Amino acid sequence: MSTWFGQLGSMVEVMCESRRSRRQEDRWLFAGGEGTLSPVEALMVTQHGAGARRWDLTKANHAIAESNALASLVRAQQLAGQGLRMVPHGAQHMNMLTPGASEEMVPPNGATSAEASRYWTGALTRAGLVAVVEPVYSTRLVQTGETVLTDDTVLDDSLILRGPRWTTEDVAADETTYASASVTLPPNQAAVSPVVPLLGQRQARFGVFLAHAGPGGSVTVTLQGVTATGTVVSSATRTTTPSAVMRRETWLWDGIPTSAVGARMVISHTADSLRLAWPSITLGDRLTRWVQGQCADQVVIFPPTQDPTLLTPGRSMASTSYQVMEVGV
């Protein structure tokens, strides 16, 4: 699995890294403490969201030609003078949203219009921490396909003996309760998620924790496929009736048309106030536990460092290291 960079509709896959580390900007300020006359105080910078992330990526001993896509992206970024989207390795099966869109959902205080565009839109308001319940799935091996001989089996040349084959399946084993930040959506209003790239996939799984804050009622979730300009070219509608306990609901959308390069979900309802938390969008049909959003809407790729490890007339190998920094958050 590789890392992807680019813009919606023109995402480029770069070589799969052999080592990756990630760190996040620290936005706590401290006052007082040792050498002062006052105790330590922690002051959070609240006018912005969580700190920007920085990735250090390395691909060891690869054919030099494998780094061509990365070099082209760095050059194109310098010429265009703008950041790129980033889908880190593994994000397709974890959560294609950004951390902010998957947790806070609404922009932080003091956010600019550009920063706010990376969050959900609609009449959402913060509702504080809430207990959320998620089914915990365990994966077990299932043996299939083995030839079984019985007393009636005819032993001749037509008999084909097949050994066992193993597949995996997810089994709901338990439930786990967490505390999550949440938002509320008033009746007759809609909440719209940011668009995530589909990377050529025709299946996507959408999820969100839902609960009614008052009398129950049905909730409509519309899954939309969009073009690079945001035009909706396909949609699928699902309905559900949440309870007063916030539980995770998921929906699989199979057969997304090839004209759609991105996807988003729209949540609406007509009953009493609805509470939402921890949305997710993953690619493929696999159902996984909720994970914080992994993607970035805007990053800068710094020019890579490349160390040749093998240079012969017939083969050129190198190790490449580069840094990626999230901007605009």
pLDDT in tens, 57-115: 998 888 888 888 899 999 988 888 788 999 998 999 999 999 999 999 998 877 778 88
Could you give the CA distance from residue 114 to residue 167 in angstroms, rounded to a whole number? 45
Query: Do residues 34 and 167 both lie within one domain?
Result: no
> DSSP secondary-structure letter at 52?
P
Contacts (Cβ under 8 Å, ≥6 apart) of 186: 123, 273
Q: What's the residue count for the chain?
A: 329
Query: Do residues 221 and 286 both lie within one domain?
Result: yes
Is residue 208 within 8 Å of 231, Cβ to Cβ? no
Query: Do residues 34 and 45 both lie within one domain?
Result: yes
Q: What tokens appear for 129 in the block?
A: 């921490």
Has residue 321 been placed in a domain?
A: yes
Q: Phi and psi of 79, rounded to 5°?
A: -70, -40
Amino acid, res. 107: P
pLDDT at position 167? 60
Query: Span 208-224, mean pLDDT?
Result: 85
Q: Phi and psi of 161, rounded to 5°?
A: -95, 125
Has residue 152 been placed in a domain?
A: no
Is residue 5 within 8 Å of 11, Cβ to Cβ? yes
Query: Do residues 279 and 303 both lie within one domain?
Result: no
Query: Do residues 239 and 265 both lie within one domain?
Result: yes
pLDDT of 164 over the 70 cut: no
Q: Phi and psi of 59, rounded to 5°?
A: -120, 115
Has residue 157 been placed in a domain?
A: no
Query: Do residues 123 and 253 both lie within one domain?
Result: yes
pLDDT at position 147? 65
Q: What tokens appear for 188 in the block?
A: 């007759």
Has residue 151 been placed in a domain?
A: no
Residue 210's DSSP bridge partners are 247, 276
Higher-pLDDT residue of 198 and 181 is 198
Is residue 42 within 8 Å of 14, Cβ to Cβ? no
Closest CA to 301 of 55, 91, 60: 55
What domain range includes position 300? Answer: 1-90+294-329
Is residue 206 within 8 Å of 265, Cβ to Cβ? yes
pLDDT of 165 over the 70 cut: no
Query: Do residues 136 and 257 both lie within one domain?
Result: yes
Residue 3 Cα distances to 12, 53, 86, angstroms: 8, 15, 7
| CA-based torsion, 263, 264, 268, 272: positive or negative | positive
pLDDT of 162 over the 70 cut: no
Residue 86's DSSP bridge partners are 5, 296
CATH at residue 103: 2.60.120.260
pLDDT of 216 over the 70 cut: no
Domain count, the chain: 2
Has residue 3 been placed in a domain?
A: yes
pLDDT of 312 over the 80 cut: no
pLDDT digits (tens, 9 = 90+) for 243-274: 888 889 999 999 999 999 999 999 998 877 89
pLDDT of 202 over the 90 cut: yes
Query: Do residues 309 and 169 both lie within one domain?
Result: no
**232-240 and 246-254 beta bridge pairing:** unpaired
Has residue 329 been placed in a domain?
A: yes
pLDDT at position 160? 67
pLDDT at position 1? 60
Query: Do residues 261 and 308 both lie within one domain?
Result: no
Q: Phi and psi of 72, rounded to 5°?
A: -65, -40
pLDDT at position 196? 97
Q: What is the pTM of this model?
A: 0.82
Percent of the chain with pLDDT over 90: 41
Higher-pLDDT residue of 289 and 196 is 196
pLDDT digits (tens, 9 = 90+) for 11-69: 999 987 778 888 887 777 778 888 888 888 877 665 566 688 999 999 888 888 888 88
Query: Do residues 267 and 184 both lie within one domain?
Result: yes
Query: Do residues 117 and 250 both lie within one domain?
Result: yes
Query: Do residues 24 and 61 both lie within one domain?
Result: yes
Give the 3-state secondary structure of residue 113.
helix
